[in-house]
Amino acid sequence: MSLHQEPRRPRLRDALSAALVALACLLAPCGTLAAWATFGLADTGRYVGAVAPLAADPDVRDAVADAVGDEVVRELDARTAGTSGTAGTVLGPFVRDAIRSFTRTDAFRAAWETGNRAVHDAVLRALRDDTPARGPVTVDLAPVAAQVRQRLAADHLPFARRIPVGRTEVAVVPAERVAGLRKGYHVLDAAALRLPPAAVVLAVTGIAVAARRRRALTATGLGTALGGALLALAVAVGRRLTLDGLAARGHRPAAAAVYDALTATLRTASWLLLALGLAVALASWLTGRRTDRRALPAPAAAPAGRSRRPPAALPRP
């Protein structure tokens, strides 16, 4: 009975090790994604720090100028409908030129950071609040509108003083999507605290129980590298899907710049997983080859007093 059990023990240990290592390699990219979303994307300071340099991006400036210019022209048309007709339509090119000029100033950079911070704070409060959502997530952009109006008035643009700077509630998340986003945020928050330690514990346990630990370590490295490569691929596919889903094709360069800025940390983490996994696998493989060479038996020495020459061939009859 013991003779049948002895060969099975290494097989069972290797099977258990393979299952633990595979689960660890699966949790590694998932934990990295959850940690990025919770500690990077959901942190206001890091979020603003990531999008702040976009104020100098030409594509982002053009997209903001077009959006703000359309809104200003629409508001001017509504305010001057009973007096001078469609003043916004007439002054539209001048308004857009003034706004494009404004996007190249330090005041725009300050307004860009203020607006992004306000939007992020509003969304984060809605996601962390456990009370039922009664409406969409809104943000007050009055401070941003005040800076825009001040700049346009300094350029002596007509009707600039009529741009409203009162409380302007802008919906950033529809009411029907608040509950789903809130559940997703709570899941990611819990996963970010549990998945990375669980992946490390599973990997260490899988290597420890393996009958061939060096082989298990090599498999762990290769699996981690594969997880990092799949995570990088997921980021690239997500970028493609995000840009293809935009209705306004002219704003794709700006959206691409925003996406790249927000996912820069995630891309770096995926490449680090890939590099770390390959380094561990290569080091384990090279160490195994060196150990195997040392374990090879040395060639047997010839007995003393005997010649090492090969025996002479017998003459043919």
Cα–Cα separations (whole angstroms), residue 134 to 120, 131, 176: 19, 9, 10
Predicted pLDDT of residue 303: 54
Collect all residues with Cβ–Cβ distance below 8 Å to 238 and sequence separation of at least 6. 259, 263
207-236 burial: b if 16+ Cβ within 10 Å, else e: bebbeeeebbbbbbbbbbbbbbbbbbeebe
The CA distance from 50 to 59, in Å, is 16
Look at residues 277, 268, 213 and name the one whose alpha carbon lies nearest to residue 28: 277
Q: What is the mean predicted confidence (pLDDT) over 292-298?
A: 57
The DSSP H or E segment spanning 71 is helix 58-79
The DSSP H or E segment spanning 171 is strand 169-173
Look at residues 197, 180, 221, 182 and name the one whose alpha carbon lies nearest to residue 31: 197
Residue pLDDT, tens place only, 136-149:
666 666 666 676 67
Residue pLDDT, tens place only, 46-72:
999 999 999 899 988 888 887 777 766
What pTM does this model have? 0.77
The dihedrals phi and psi of 173, each to the nearest 5 degrees, come to -135, 125
Confidence of residue 1 (pLDDT cuts 50, 70, 90): very low
Look at residues 166, 169, 163, 173 and name the one whose alpha carbon lies nearest to residue 69: 163
